[in-house]
Each structure stands twice: as structure tokens, then as C-alpha cells.
């Protein structure tokens, strides 16, 4: 019997804030550059979850923005994403639908509904937004490029709603990654959406205790079921976010980063296949160089035989095999 192989996928949401606030150089370009440098130092590929709605918006208002801020948000993001790709990093899709109707008034970015969720939209609209996102990435990287993974929002930390799955298939996107790990369908670090070729690869997380409202596995399943079918459950929605503590490279110190890895190794030790462990991070939250470096050094030293650093693009090869079985 072969040993379980664990694949750490470091997925970084590349964006300013969902309400339109933030400074592109401070919250994206500079921290992303720092992350890129550290990754290069350890020869680790990162997966950039590129917020395309925001990028498209910056492109549309490029003249006004450049005049107002003294540099082009659009050009700097474009060049950075291209550079990351050239250097072997993975570029995947992240979309906040609220950018669709955003505008600039009196030199200010106005987001009409910062909490707009994909589960609020009609299938046609969803398809149009995702299709546009795919085209934007192809436009940057090349027509040959396939998007492998997507992180939709503003869903709570759940699977994608079922009516979105056929749309993802239509664009050959076979990975969605937003749910936390405690979904009971999660046996070996990912699961397949029913009657489809799409897989959920959750953000690796540990259920936390001492949370007032903690959902057990079956409760979480019912919750996900209702929520993804359009039922609004605001009080639950809030507590759900505290339920699973996500593996976050921006918010954890070295020992937590390591503890989450060890938990993943224990939890999936009976799996004989390849197990993905997705870490999340946000450019706007990244001030954690020291801990991250220490973590990379430790993993490369101690876990070199069982753990590799991977990307959604790389991992999609294993899923392709599984799809064709
Ligand atoms: Zn985001």
C-alpha cells in the first residue's frame, strides 16, 4: 500500500475590500510581491485567486483612477498577474458579484450591495459573470489557458449552490473551493458534487469549541442544503463562520500553521489517495512573513516525504483521473 500524499495548496485571494475600500498598492501589489518573494525563496508555487470583477472595474475606469491616484490600478495588477504566471504560479478565478454594478461617483468607488451573493442571482446572470471571468484570465494569460478552480462569494463558507454546478462544467471548471472541512461528505480532503464532474476542495479547517452556536456535522449539512437553495438564515450565517477555524496564512502563528497541518495528516491518514489541504490568505491581510517563512522551512525539512506544495492546477490532474474512472 502506498502512503498518503498530502498536497498543500496555498490559495490567496487577490483583492481589495468587498465594499470597494482599500488601496491597490498597499492592499494588493506590495503584499503580493512580498508573498511572491518568499515563495520564490522556498521554491513553492502559490495559487492566486484573482478577483476579476474588481480588475474589470479598474480597467473600465482606468482614466479616472489614474488621474485621481497617480497610477493605473489596472496596469499594475495586469503586470503582476502576468509575472506570477510566467514564474510558474497558478492563476485561478475569484469573483465578488457586487463589482458588476459598481460605479465611480465624485471620485469614489460606490458598491451598491457589498453582500450580493451568487446564490441571489439567476442562472443566466451567473453564467455571464463566470464566462466573462474566464475570458479575462484567458486575455491575460493566453487563449490556451484553462481555468481549473473558482472561489465564488459572498456565500458563507459552504459549497457552491447546486444550480451553479452545471455552469461550472460548461466552462470546464472542475474545482470549487470555499467550504470548510467539516462537511460530512468530506472523507479524504475533497468530494464530488452529485451527478457532476465538479469537486469541492474545502479550505482546510478545524472545528472550534467554545463557540456559542456550534453546528454538528448533520446540522451543517442541513444548513448548507437550505442556504444553497436560497433560504436566508442570517443569525446562523454569522455563527457558521466561527464554526470551523480555517487554515489562514495571514492570521496564524507558526505553531498554529503547523498544528493545522498535523491535524490534516491525522484526519486523512486512512486515505490512500492524494489529499489536498487548502490554506487561505488575503493580500490585504498579509503581515506574517516571519511565521510563514518558519512554516515553509519546517515543512520542507520535516515532512519532505509526505507533504508537497501544490496548486489547484496541479491537483486537477488527480481529479481528472478520478472523473474518467
Ligand atoms: Zn474575496
In this predicted model, what pLDDT tens digit does every residue of 104-115 receive, in sequence order? 998 889 999 888
Say how many Å lie between the CA of residue 323 and the centre of ligand 1: 28
Residue 162 pLDDT > 60, yes or no?
Answer: yes
Question: What spacing in Å lies between the alpha carbon of 2 and ligand 1's midpoint?
Answer: 37
Poorest-confidence range of 67-81, 152-166, 186-200, 265-279? 152-166
* Amino acid 244: pLDDT: 86
- DSSP reduced 3-state for 205: strand
Which residues make up the environment of ion ligand 1, defined by Cβ < 5 Å?
13, 15
Ligand 1 center from residue 17 Cα (angstroms): 8
Over residues 61-93, the pLDDT tens digits come to 999 999 999 999 999 999 999 999 999 999 999
Query: How far is ligand 1, taken at its centre, from the CA of residue 241, in Å?
Result: 15
pLDDT at 225 over 70: no
Q: Which of 200, 179, 118, 123 is nearest to 152 (CA)?
A: 118
> What is the Å distance from ligand 1's center to 153 Cα?
7
Per the structure, the complete domain to which residue 28 belongs is given by 5-323
User: How confident is the model at residue 239, as a pLDDT?
Assistant: 43
Tell me: pLDDT of 205 over 70: yes
Q: Measured in angstroms, how far is the CA atom of residue 73 from the centroid of ligand 1?
A: 17
R_g of the chain computed on alpha carbons: 19
Q: Residue 289: what pLDDT?
A: 94
Residue 319: its pLDDT value, please?
95
**Mean pLDDT confidence for 271-279:** 95
What integer pLDDT is reported at residue 323 of this predicted model? 86
Q: What is the average pLDDT across 187-202?
A: 96
- Check pLDDT > 70 for residue 211: no
What separation in Å is there between the alpha carbon of 215 and the centre of ligand 1? 24
269 CA → ligand 1 middle, Å: 31
Domain count, the chain: 1
CA of 189 to the centre of ligand 1 (A): 22
Q: What is the mean pLDDT of residues 8-16?
A: 97
Distance 275 CA to ligand 1 centre (A): 24
Average pLDDT for residues 286-302, to the nearest whole number?
96
pLDDT, mean of residues 299-308: 96
pLDDT exceeds cutoff 80 at 60: yes
pLDDT of residue 164: 95
Q: Ligand 1 centre and the CA of 151: distance in Å?
A: 8
**pLDDT given for residue 158 in this prediction:** 87
pLDDT of residue 19: 83
pLDDT at 212: 44
Distance 94 CA to ligand 1 centre (A): 7
* Whether pLDDT at 232 is above 80: no
Mean pLDDT across 263-288: 94
Nearest to 177 by CA among 138, 146, 196, 205: 205
H helices present in the chain, as ranges: 24, 30-42, 52-60, 62-69, 73-86, 123-141, 165-170, 217-228, 234-241, 254-267, 289-302, 312-323
Whole-model pTM: value is 0.90
What does the pLDDT read at residue 79? 98
Does residue 9 sit in helix, strand or coil?
Answer: strand
pLDDT digits (tens, 9 = 90+) for 239-261: 444 478 999 999 999 999 999 99
What is the average pLDDT across 234-239? 43
User: Strands, DSSP E only, in 145-239?
Assistant: 149-152, 175-176, 191-192, 199-200, 205-207
Q: Which pLDDT value is given to residue 215?
A: 54
- Asked if pLDDT for residue 238 goes beyond 80, the answer is no
Distance 28 CA to ligand 1 centre (A): 12
| CATH number (domain holding residue 310) | 3.20.20.370
Ligand 1 center to 52 CA (angstroms): 10
Rounded to an integer, what distance in angstroms lies between the CA atom of residue 122 and that of residue 28?
31
Amino acid at each position: 500500500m502506498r502512503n498518503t500524499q498530502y498536497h498543500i495548496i496555498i490559495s490567496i485571494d487577490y483583492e481589495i475590500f468587498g465594499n470597494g475600500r482599500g488601496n491597490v498598492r498597499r492592499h494588493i501589489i506590495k503584499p503580493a510581491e512580498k508573498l511572491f518573494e518568499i515563495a520564490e525563496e522556498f521554491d513553492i508555487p502559490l495559487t492566486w485567486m484573482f478577483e476579476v470583477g474588481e480588475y474589470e472595474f479598474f480597467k473600465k475606469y482606468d482614466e479616472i483612477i489614474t488621474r485621481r491616484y497617480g497610477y493605473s490600478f489596472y496596469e499594475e495588477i495586469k503586470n503582476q498577474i502576468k509575472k506570477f504566471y510566467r514564474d510558474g504560479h497558478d492563476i485561478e478565478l475569484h469573483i465578488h458579484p457586487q463589482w458588476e454594478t459598481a460605479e465611480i461617483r465624485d471620485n469614489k468607488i460606490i458598491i451598491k450591495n457589498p453582500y450580493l451573493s451568487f446564490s441571489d442571482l439567476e442562472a443566466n446572470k451567473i453564467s455571464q459573470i463566470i464566462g466573462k471571468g474566464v475570458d479575462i484570465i484567458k486575455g491575460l494569460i493566453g487563449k490556451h489557458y484553462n481555468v481549473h478552480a473558482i472561489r465564488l462569494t459572498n456565500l458563507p463558507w459552504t459549497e457552491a449552490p447546486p444550480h451553479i454546478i452545471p455552469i461550472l462544467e460548461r466552462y470546464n471548471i472542475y474545482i470549487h473551493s470555499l467550504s470548510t472541512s467539516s462537511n460530512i461528505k468530506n472523507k479524504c480532503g475533497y468530494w464530488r458534487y452529485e451527478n457532476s464532474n465538479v469537486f469541492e476542495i474545502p479550505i482546510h479547517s478545524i472545528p472550534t469549541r467554545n463557540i456559542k452556536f456550534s453546528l454538528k456535522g448533520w446540522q451543517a449539512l442541513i444548513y448548507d442544503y437550505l442556504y444553497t437553495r436560497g433560504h436566508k438564515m442570517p443569525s446562523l450565517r454569522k455563527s457558521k463562520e466561527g464554526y470551523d477555524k480555517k487554515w489562514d496564512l495571514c492570521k496564524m502563528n507558526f505553531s498554529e500553521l503547523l498544528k493545522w497541518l498535523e491535524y490534516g495528516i491525522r484526519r486523512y491518514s486512512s486515505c490512500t489517495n492524494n489529499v489536498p489541504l487548502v490554506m487561505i490568505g488575503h493580500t490585504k491581510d498579509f503581515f506574517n512573513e516571519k511565521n510563514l517563512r518558519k512554516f515553509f522551512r519546517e515543512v520542507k525539512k520535516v515532512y519532505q516525504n509526505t507533504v508537497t506544495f501544490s496548486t489547484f492546477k496541479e491537483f486537477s490532474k488527480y481529479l481528472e483521473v478520478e472523473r474518467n474512472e
